[in-house]
């Protein structure tokens, strides 16, 4: 809610500014072309001397534009369909998650009843330990993501204030929140932020892009592996490997869920190896 109230009004304002300044940009471009041909008559003569079938060229351009418009309409329809389906699925999953949370005590009791009936005490104790590790790791991962997003959003806001860029609080918050998507989230927020800055100054938007790329490199290679890696107990090198591997296998969901999953497997594996080493020392 905080993100929507902060971002949507500024984004609407930026779109309004773009709509207002586009005619001015077209007017400036037209004026530039007129001045170019008036000040360079030899350029106009060279173009007139070219053997070009302007009628066929214009007709080809119209055909290309018609095809392009048709493709754009089809692509827009597909994008809208995907967005609507995604929103519907998100709302459905959100409602389902609320029901699961409301009934969590009943699920826990059912788990304990079934494990006591069908599993030995040793197996049940080990399973409880694994589930506790998984729950603790996922909770720590979400906390680490929030801390890392706060750090990135704060750095982005402070940098924009120092560089005197527009919308620093809004863009910094947007970059930080979307950065919950590991590694690439800041670029998604940065693209929206660059558009916002572009409505005020196109040149400044390039400086913003450069600043965000530098900040994102620092965040991806220094801040993220240490903050998130330390929060879930996973070494930084494993964080980088997990993001690359799971991201290639399952995209953004894989990047988001891969780290706590790998951290859980890592912790359980460490416990398993430690137990095996103790048993070997006792038997030895």
Residue-wise DSSP of 185-198: HHHHHHHHHHHHHH
Pair 94, 206 in one domain:
no
Residue 27 belongs to a domain = no
Pair 135, 273 in one domain:
yes
Token pair listed for 19:
């709509």
Pair 59, 154 in one domain:
no
From first to last of its 284 residues, what are the pLDDT tens digits of the chain?
A: 666 676 666 666 666 766 776 677 677 777 777 776 667 777 666 666 666 665 676 677 667 666 665 666 667 677 778 778 878 888 898 899 899 889 889 999 999 999 998 889 888 998 999 999 999 888 888 888 788 888 888 888 899 899 888 888 878 887 887 777 665 666 777 787 887 788 778 888 889 889 888 887 887 777 777 776 666 777 767 777 887 888 788 777 787 788 888 888 888 888 888 888 888 887 76
Distance (Å, whole) CA 166 – CA 11: 12
| Residue 219 DSSP one-character state | I
To the nearest 10 degrees (0 to 180), the angle between helices 2-39 and 185-198 is 50
Cβ 168 vs Cβ 161: under 8 Å? yes
Pair 96, 224 in one domain:
no
Pair 265, 128 in one domain:
yes
Residue 22 belongs to a domain = no
Token pair listed for 96:
């389902």
Pair 178, 270 in one domain:
yes
Pair 63, 160 in one domain:
no
Distance (Å, whole) CA 73 – CA 81: 12
Which pLDDT score is estimated for 52?
60
Cβ 216 vs Cβ 187: under 8 Å? yes
Which pLDDT score is estimated for 151?
86
Pair 196, 79 in one domain:
no
Domain that holds residue 89: 54-102
For the chain, the domain total comes to: 2
Pair 80, 197 in one domain:
no
Cβ 185 vs Cβ 179: under 8 Å? yes
| Residue 223 DSSP one-character state | I
Distance (Å, whole) CA 131 – CA 264: 9
Cβ 175 vs Cβ 236: under 8 Å? no
Residue 264 belongs to a domain = yes
Pair 213, 283 in one domain:
yes
CB atoms within 10 A of CB 215: 18
Cβ 137 vs Cβ 228: under 8 Å? no
Residue 278 belongs to a domain = yes
All residues at 6 or more sequence positions from 14 whose CB lies less than 8 Å from its CB, including other chains: 167, 195, 196, 199
CA 128 to chain CA centroid, nearest Å: 34
Pair 138, 94 in one domain:
no
Pair 206, 245 in one domain:
yes
CB atoms within 10 A of CB 28: 11
Residue 148 belongs to a domain = yes
Residue 11 belongs to a domain = no
Distance (Å, whole) CA 182 – CA 188: 11
Distance (Å, whole) CA 190 – CA 194: 6
All residues at 6 or more sequence positions from 219 whose CB lies less than 8 Å from its CB, including other chains: 148, 151, 152, 155, 179, 186
């Amino acid at each position: 809610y905080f993100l929507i109230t902060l971002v949507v009004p500024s984004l609407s304002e930026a779109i309004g500014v773009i709509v207002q300044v586009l005619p001015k940009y077209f007017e400036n471009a037209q004026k530039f072309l007129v001045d170019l041909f008036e000040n360079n008559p030899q350029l106009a003569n060279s173009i007139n001397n070219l053997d070009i079938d302007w009628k066929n060229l214009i007709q080809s351009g119209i055909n290309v534009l018609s095809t392009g418009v048709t493709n754009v309409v089809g692509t827009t329809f597909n994008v809208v369909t995907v967005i609507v389906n995604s929103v519907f699925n998100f709302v459905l999953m959100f409602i389902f998650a609320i029901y699961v949370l409301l009934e969590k005590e009943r699920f826990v009791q059912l788990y304990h009843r079934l494990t006591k009936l069908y599993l030995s005490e040793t197996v049940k104790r080990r399973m409880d330990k694994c589930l506790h590790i998984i729950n603790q790791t996922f909770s720590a991962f979400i906390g680490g993501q929030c801390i890392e997003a706060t750090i990135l959003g704060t750095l982005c806001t402070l940098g924009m204030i120092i560089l005197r860029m527009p919308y620093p609080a809004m863009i910094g918050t947007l970059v930080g929140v979307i950065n919950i998507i590991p590694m690439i989230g800041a670029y998604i927020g940065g693209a929206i932020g660059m558009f916002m800055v572009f409505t005020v100054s196109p040149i400044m938007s390039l400086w913003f892009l450069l600043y965000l790329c530098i900040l994102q490199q620092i965040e991806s290679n220094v801040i993220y592996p240490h903050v998130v890696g330390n929060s879930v107990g996973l070494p930084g090198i494993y964080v980088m490997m997990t993001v690359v591997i799971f991201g290639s296998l399952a995209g953004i969901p894989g990047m988001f869920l891969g780290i706590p999953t790998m951290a859980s497997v890592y912790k359980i594996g460490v416990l398993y190896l430690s137990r095996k080493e103790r048993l070997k020392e006792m038997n030895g």
